[in-house]
């Protein structure tokens, strides 16, 4: 797809939409900033929102093959070189870890997905999150609050309530301890993201700054985490808009030799710019989006969203498919020395995570008891603030 031009973001919304019969019609292709604003407004109209979903994730055979390539490479290094003692120790430790992982791989090479359940509610300020610790839990997490619900129903479920207006702002029910008897809880000023690393939330149209470091946000919202230095837009035959951006990698080396990350998001202007696909990749070179054959040179991840139109007018994903990529192990095995190449190393899927949305409630007020989250008598509560 040929992109005609690139536009430097001015920080001002230069193109204004037209409103015809209650429907927004874009006279010209929107900028990245306009699309982000429209998407956030679309989500904000659904708040407060409650979503329950199932996550199924697995590693692909190619990811395990890549580990095998690494194992063989480390064995060759150990056999052919005299390493410094500390370096040799580190290589042997990594080799042992990789072999331990590979020993657990099913011999039939059939990927068995890890299944977890999640429930999330927010009004845009407060957050309530429930997640199963029991793999393959087959019961719903949407429950009315009762005095004994935590003990009887959520012994193997973690529950987090974060309210910036309370002191302490975070309360967490952590279920029964390893002995199967001791009830455990947590209070403190730390954020939910610090306790639930990579929770993979549903699309919410926002990335809370204090949660960013633990990636406590939706993969579908990753495009909100970028501020492109340059951008370009195009429209397909279905009227969907693809915005392409390029930025300098935040983790630039001290020498200033920063890699460039490029991303593209496809969204539907007629549906509040709800995202349909997001892709992220890295490539060396100038900050540009014009060189399409090399975009992205190193594909890192893609997110695909599937929707169902229904009579209620609610337009929200029914399925989110998140895929991360790595270098093709077959190519690496054929080029053990990292031979010179004239084209990018092929990329293949390493990890696949599918989020199946079970229910969505918009304009939904959560029972305040869930935000208060009173602990049952006898709960062993950790006060993180007193431990610091």
- Give the per-residue SS3 of the chain: CCCCCCEECCCCCCCCCEEECCEEECCCCCCHHHHHHHHHHHHHCCCCEEEEEEEEEEECHHHHHHHHHHHHHHHHHHHHCCCCHHHHHHHHHHHHHHHHHHCCCCCCCCCCCEEEEEEEEECCCCEEEEEECCCCCCCCCCCCCCCCHHHHHCCCEEEEEECCCCCCCEEEEEEECCCCCCEEEEEECCCHHHCCCCCCCCCCCCCCHHHHHHCCCCHHHHHHHCCCCEEEEEECCCCCEEEEEEEECCCCCCCCCCCEEEEEEEEEHHHCCEEEEEEEEEECCCCCCCCHHHCCCEEEEEEEEEECCCCCCCCCEEEEEEEEEEECHHHHHHCCCCCCCCCCCCEEEEEEEEEEEEEEEECCCCCHHHHHCCCCCCCEEEEHHHHC
195: number of Cβ within 10 Å: 20
Residue 327 covered by a domain: no
Rounded CA gap, 140 and 289, in Å?
A: 44
Strand 7-8 with 230-235, pairing: antiparallel
What pLDDT is stored for residue 364 in this prediction? 94
What pLDDT is stored for residue 48 in this prediction? 93
Rounded CA gap, 64 and 160, in Å?
A: 34
Dihedral, 199, 132, 129, 216 alpha carbons, nearest 10: -10
Rounded CA gap, 83 and 130, in Å?
A: 48
Dihedral, 208, 211, 213, 218 alpha carbons, nearest 10: -70
Residue 194 covered by a domain: no
Residue 92's domain comprises: 61-102
Cis peptide before 238 (omega within 30 of 0): no
Rounded CA gap, 356 and 319, in Å?
A: 5
What are the pLDDT tens digits along the chain (388 aa)?
333 333 322 222 233 343 333 344 455 788 888 888 888 888 888 889 999 998 888 787 777 777 777 777 778 778 877 778 888 878 788 888 777 776 777 666 566 677 888 999 999 889 899 988 776 677 789 988 988 899 988 988 999 998 988 888 899 999 888 888 899 999 987 766 666 645 567 787 776 666 665 667 777 787 776 677 778 888 999 889 998 888 765 544 444 445 677 888 899 988 888 899 988 887 656 656 555 544 556 788 899 999 876 555 678 899 999 898 988 888 777 776 655 556 667 888 888 889 999 999 999 999 999 999 999 999 999 887 775 4
What pLDDT is stored for residue 56 in this prediction? 87
Q: How many structural domains are present in the chain?
A: 1
Listed in sequence order, the residues at least 6 apart from 193 whose beta carbon sits closer than 8 Å to its beta carbon are 199, 208, 210, 211, 212, 213, 214, 215, 216
What pLDDT is stored for residue 9 in this prediction? 26
Tell me phi and psi for residue 330, to 5 degrees.
-65, -40
CB 54 within 8 Å of CB 140: no
Q: Which residue has the tokens 């309370």?
A: 166
Structure token digits, residue 300 = 């890192």
What pLDDT is stored for residue 183 in this prediction? 93
Residue 95 covered by a domain: yes
Rounded CA gap, 127 and 192, in Å?
A: 8
Q: How far is CA 335 from the centre of its chain?
A: 32
Listed in sequence order, the residues at least 6 apart from 26 whose beta carbon sits closer than 8 Å to its beta carbon are 15, 17, 18, 269
Rounded CA gap, 111 and 177, in Å?
A: 30
Strand 23-25 with 380-383, pairing: unpaired
214 CB burial (10 A radius; 0-12, 13-18, 19+):
middle
What pLDDT is stored for residue 255 in this prediction? 43
Q: Is the dihedral of CA 185, 188, 189, 194 positive or negative?
A: negative
Q: Which residue has the tokens 């001791």?
A: 182
Residue 90 covered by a domain: yes
């Amino acid at each position: 797809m040929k992109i005609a031009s690139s536009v430097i973001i001015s920080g001002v919304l230069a193109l204004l939409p037209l409103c015809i019969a209650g429907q927004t019609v874009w006279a010209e292709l929107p900028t990245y900033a306009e699309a982000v604003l429209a998407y956030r407004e679309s989500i904000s109209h659904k708040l407060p929102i409650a979503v329950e979903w199932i996550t199924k994730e697995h590693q692909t055979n190619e990811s395990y093959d890549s580990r095998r390539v690494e194992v063989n490479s480390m064995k060759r290094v150990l056999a052919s070189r005299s390493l410094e003692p500390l370096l040799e120790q580190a290589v042997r430790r990594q080799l042992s870890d990789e072999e331990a992982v590979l020993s657990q791989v099913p011999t039939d090479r059939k990927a068995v997905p890890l299944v977890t359940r999640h429930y999330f509610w927010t009004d845009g300020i407060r957050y309530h999150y429930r997640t199963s610790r029991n793999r393959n839990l087959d019961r719903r997490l949407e429950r009315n609050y009762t005095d004994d619900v935590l003990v009887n129903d959520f012994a193997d479920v973690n529950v987090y309530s974060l309210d910036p207006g309370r002191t302490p702002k975070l309360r967490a029910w952590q279920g029964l301890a390893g002995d199967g008897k001791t009830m455990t809880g947590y209070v403190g000023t730390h954020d939910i993201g610090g306790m639930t690393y990579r929770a993979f939330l549903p699309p919410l149209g926002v990335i809370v700054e204090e949660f960013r470091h633990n990636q406590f946000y939706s993969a579908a919202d990753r495009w909100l985490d970028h501020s492109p230095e340059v951008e370009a837009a195009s429209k397909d035959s279905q009227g969907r808009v693809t915005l392409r951006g390029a930025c300098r990698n935040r983790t630039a080396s001290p020498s200033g030799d920063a890699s460039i990350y490029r991303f593209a998001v496809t969204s539907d202007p007629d549906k509040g710019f709800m995202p349909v696909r997001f892709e992220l990749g890295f490539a060396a070179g100038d900050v540009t989006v014009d060189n399409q054959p090399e975009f992205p040179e190193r594909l890192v991840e893609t997110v695909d969203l599937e929707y169902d139109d229904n009579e209620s007018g609610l337009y929200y994903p029914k399925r989110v498919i998140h895929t991360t990529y790595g270098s093709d192990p077959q190519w690496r095995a054929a080029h053990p020395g990292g031979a010179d190449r004239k084209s990018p190393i092929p990329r293949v899927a390493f990890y696949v995570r599918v989020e199946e949305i079970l229910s969505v409630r918009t304009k939904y007020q959560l029972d305040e008891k869930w935000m208060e989250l009173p602990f049952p008598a006898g709960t062993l509560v950790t006060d993180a603030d007193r431990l610091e």
